[in-house]
Amino acid sequence: MDNEKFNIDDWSIETPTGWKKFKGVKKYSKKVLYLVTTEKNKNVIVSANHAFLDKNNNKILCKNCLNKQIQTKDGLEIVIKKEKIDKNYVYDIVDVDDGHVFYANEILHHNTHLIEDFWKSVIPVISSGKKSKIFAVSTPNGTDNKFYEVYSAAERGKSTWKAERVDWWDIPGRTDRWKEQMIATLGSEEAFLQEFGNVFLDGGNSAVGAQIIERFKENRKTPIYSLDNDTYRVFELPDQQKFYAIGVDVGEGIGRAASVAQVLDITDLKDIKQVAIYGDNSIEPYHFANNLVKLCGQWGNPPLLVERNNCGGQVIDALYHKHEYEKIVSCSKISSTTQQTTRHLGILSHTNLRFAGVSNMRYWTNTLQCVQINDIDTIKELETFIKYPNGTYRKKNDNFYDDRVMALVWTLFILETEICQQYFQVDDFDDQGKPSRISDIGYWDKDSRLYGVKELSNTETITPLISMSSLQQQTTTPSSLFNDKNLFPEEDKDFFDLMGEGWKAL
Instruction: Quote the pLDDT of residue 64.
Output: 87
Whole-number Å distance between alpha carbons of 64 and 67: 9
Out of 44-53, 141-150, 433-442, 490-499, least confident range: 490-499
Instruction: Quote the pLDDT of residue 497.
Output: 56
Query: How many domains in the chain?
Result: 4
Residues 317 and 435 in one domain: yes
Residues 207 and 240 in one domain: no
- Domain final position from 196, 211, 226: 211
Residues 278 and 174 in one domain: no
Q: What is the pLDDT of residues 78-92, one digit of tens each?
A: 999 999 998 888 888
Name 200's Cβ contacts closer than 8 Å, sequence gap at least 6.
140, 141, 142, 143, 148, 152, 194, 210, 383
At residue 250 the predicted structure's pLDDT band, cuts being 50, 70 and 90, is very high
- Structural domain includes residue 126: no
- Structural domain includes residue 118: no
- Structural domain includes residue 161: yes
- Structural domain includes residue 123: no
Instruction: Quote the pLDDT of residue 114.
Output: 54
Distance of CA 75 to the CA centre of its chain: 28
Instruction: Quote the pLDDT of residue 464.
Output: 43
- Structural domain includes residue 25: yes
Q: Please state the pTM of the whole predicted model.
A: 0.62
CATH of the domain at 407: 3.30.420.240
Q: What is the pLDDT of residues 454-504, one digit of tens each?
A: 899 865 545 444 343 443 344 333 333 444 444 444 445 555 556 555 565
Task: Share the mean pLDDT of the chain.
Answer: 81
pLDDT at 6 over 70: no
CB atoms within 10 A of CB 106: 15
Instruction: Quote the pLDDT of residue 297.
Output: 93
Residues 350 and 236 in one domain: yes
- Domain final position from 184, 211, 238: 211
User: Treating both helix axes as pointing N-terminal to C-terminal, what angle do 403-412 and 351-362 enclose, rounded to 10 degrees?
Assistant: 80
Residues 311 and 429 in one domain: yes
Residues 230 and 109 in one domain: no
Integer-rounded Cα radius of gyration of the chain: 27
Nearest CA to 58 out of 317, 398, 414 is that of 398
- Structural domain includes residue 445: no
Instruction: Quote the pLDDT of residue 381.
Output: 92
Instruction: Count Cα neighbours of 2 within 13 Å in the Cβ-side half-sphere.
Output: 2
Instruction: Quote the pLDDT of residue 500.
Output: 56
Residues 201 and 227 in one domain: no
Nearest CA to 65 out of 51, 75, 55 is that of 51
- Structural domain includes residue 474: yes
The predicted model gives 374-383 an average pLDDT of 93
At residue 227 the predicted structure's pLDDT band, cuts being 50, 70 and 90, is very high
Residues 197 and 52 in one domain: no
Residues 331 and 480 in one domain: no
H-helix segments, 311-416: 312-317, 351-362, 376-383, 403-412
Instruction: Quote the pLDDT of residue 279.
Output: 95
Residues 340 and 400 in one domain: yes
Residues 97 and 169 in one domain: no
The predicted model gives 220-228 an average pLDDT of 94
Residues 223 and 203 in one domain: no
Domain that holds residue 35: 3-113
At residue 202 the predicted structure's pLDDT band, cuts being 50, 70 and 90, is low
Instruction: Answer with the residue of higher pLDDT: 368 or 49.
Output: 368
- Domain final position from 166, 185, 211: 211
Instruction: Quote the pLDDT of residue 259.
Output: 95
Instruction: Answer with the residue of higher pLDDT: 142 or 389.
Output: 389
CATH of the domain at 53: 2.170.16.10
Instruction: Answer with the residue of higher pLDDT: 141 or 176.
Output: 176
Instruction: Answer with the residue of higher pLDDT: 195 or 384.
Output: 384
Instruction: Answer with the residue of higher pLDDT: 347 or 396.
Output: 347
The predicted model gives 142-168 an average pLDDT of 76
Q: What is the pLDDT of residues 81-125, one digit of tens each?
A: 999 998 888 888 887 877 778 999 999 998 765 566 667 667 777
CB atoms within 10 A of CB 140: 19
Instruction: Quote the pLDDT of residue 395.
Output: 86
The predicted model gives 22-49 an average pLDDT of 88
Nearest CA to 499 out of 480, 476, 471 is that of 480
- Structural domain includes residue 453: no
